[in-house]
Amino acid sequence: MENPFLVKSKKTGREVTIEAPKVLLCESLEQRVELLGTDLVCKKTDDQIKIDLRSHVRSKLESETDGEFNNSDEDILALDLSNWKPELRVRKTAEETAADAMGGLTIEQVVAAMAIAGHDVTGLIKEDATEDAPDDLPF
């Protein structure tokens, strides 16, 4: 498959990899407009910008410290959003997210998590270590 596109169903746990349609392979806005037309590209762009704006304001609504909201409704209503623009949000890979989550754990906690996940952890803690233990462990 030249251009795989993974589709997952959280509801059923199923997934399938399909060939990506041409519209996902566009490398420029002009190519996308040529395939879809200006109206559809603008509509889809507007829809996503609205989602981004709602998320921006929602984060202010939900921001709290010690059970107290950080922003009153009046503060939020007073925001000047006339020049607001969405930002490119770079999502972390699963590996980066896992590394962040495990970064604060002790070696024993990491080994316990690996054991729960079904990995063979024999020899990973110094007390259990044998000459067979791998040398390239991250801890």
Report pLDDT for 5. Answer: 93
What helix, strand, coil percent values describe the chain, rounded to 5? 45, 10, 45
Report pLDDT for 133. Answer: 53
Q: How many CB atoms lie within 10 A of CB 129?
A: 11
Report pLDDT for 126. Answer: 64
End-to-end CA distance of the chain: 38
pLDDT per position as a tens digit, 27-61 = 999 999 999 999 999 999 999 999 999 999 999 99
Report pLDDT for 21. Answer: 95
Which ranges of the chain have pLDDT less than 50? 128-129
Residue given tokens 């420029």 in the structure block: 28
- Rounded to two decimals, the pTM is 0.58
> Domain locations in the chain?
1-27, 37-90, 92-130
Alpha-carbon torsion (43, 47, 52, 57), positive or negative: positive
CA dihedral 34, 38, 43, 49 (to 10 degrees): 80
